[in-house]
Structures are given as C-alpha cells and as structure tokens.
Amino acid sequence: MAQPIDPRLPHESRVADPRQLRPRRRWYGIAGAVVVLFIVLAIGGSLVSLYAMGRAEVEFYSVHETAGQDVRVRVKASNDYGIYVPKGATGSCTVDSDVVSPYPPGTGTAKSYSHSGESWRMAASFHAFEDGTVIFRCSAAPAAFGGSQETTGFRLAVGGLGASVACLPCLGVTVGGAIALGTWLRRSSHKKRLLTNPHA
C-alpha cells in the first residue's frame, strides 16, 4: 500500500510514492505497444505489397494464336510496349519498325507477368518515338501485344510498399512518443502537486 506524504516534513525532504502518481506507469507500456503495433502493420503491409508486385499484371491489347507469322500492330509515340508469350513457352520474338527503339534483349524477361490468371514472360520490349506500325514475329504461340508498364494495381502495390516502409513506423513512433511524453509530463505535474499538497 502506498505511503502518504507526511505534510509535516519540509518540502525538500518529501518524496512522492511512484504508486500514487497519475496516470499509471502502464501508459508507458501502452506507448511501447503502439510502436510495436505500427511496426507489425508495416511488416504486414510490406509483405502484401511484395506479393502483389511479384504478380505484376499488364494490359494486353491483342493476342495472336499463330506462330511464325508477321503481326502488324499500331503504336503511339512516347509509349512503351511489350511482346509476351506464355511463361513456359520456348522461342523468341523479333520486332521490325522505323518508329520504335527496341530495349536491350533480356529487359524485363526475368519477371513473371500475370494476365487473366495466367503467367506470361516478356519476349521483347520497345519504346515508340512516333505514331506508326510495328511488325513482330514470334516462334511461340500464343503471343500477346501489350504495354510494358504494369497496370495501376501494380503501381498501387509499389506505393503501398513505400508507405508501409516509410510512413507506418514513423507514425507509430510519433503516436507512441506522444503518449509516453504526455504520460511523463502529467506524472511530473502530479508529483509536484503531491509534494506541495499531499491530498492532491
């Protein structure tokens, strides 16, 4: 049981029993729990975002079922495009056009892309610097023509990863720190009142 402060003692000789101070020390524990909670949320959000990024989905403009034949497609200036084949398919694709600049072979090929629940790999990619026509030929079928940039869902996943890593821990430290600081200030104020007025 907490011992009351003897009012007969000189002010400088009085010692406040920590058990009498308000708010209770458990608020420091609550502050620490808040920080841990936000860190756990950041880790969970990062894992979800990484999973979504690993299943990058692209938009297909057309799918062609015949292998080894020339396919003509239209492109618009300042856009990136890709040619895709099923993930397990062997073979390659070639691109012929005066209005595009091919990216180096192997660009984006290590990543698995998802479309309509199926996995694809990028066989070729290029940047269009003018509006015009592109002719491509693939030795594998089917072959799909689409954008080389991931869809909005993927970009949202990247944004979610950044928010999880950068924002949530900082927010947790801020909220937890505010609780801890507020607790310390209120306990200090209460301690001063107890020393001057034991019945405060």
DSSP string covering 17-68: -GGG-SS-THHHHHHHHHHHHHHHHHHHHHHHHHHHHHTEE--EEEEE--SS
pTM metric for this prediction = 0.51
Question: CA 84, CA 62: separation in Å to the nearest integer?
Answer: 10
- Of 52, 60, 64, 78, nearest in space to 153 by CA: 52
Return the CATH number of the domain spanning residue range 59-149. 2.60.120
CA angle 101, 59, 48 (to 5 degrees): 115
Q: How many residues does the chain have?
A: 200
pLDDT tens over the chain, length 200 residues: 445 544 544 444 455 556 666 778 888 899 999 999 988 887 777 776 666 655 567 789 999 988 889 999 999 998 889 899 998 888 889 999 999 988 876 655 556 777 777 888 888 889 899 999 999 999 988 999 998 765 444 555 555 566 666 687 888 889 999 999 988 888 887 777 766 665 55
- Indicate the domain borders of the chain: 17-53+159-196, 59-149
CB 75 within 8 A of CB 101: no
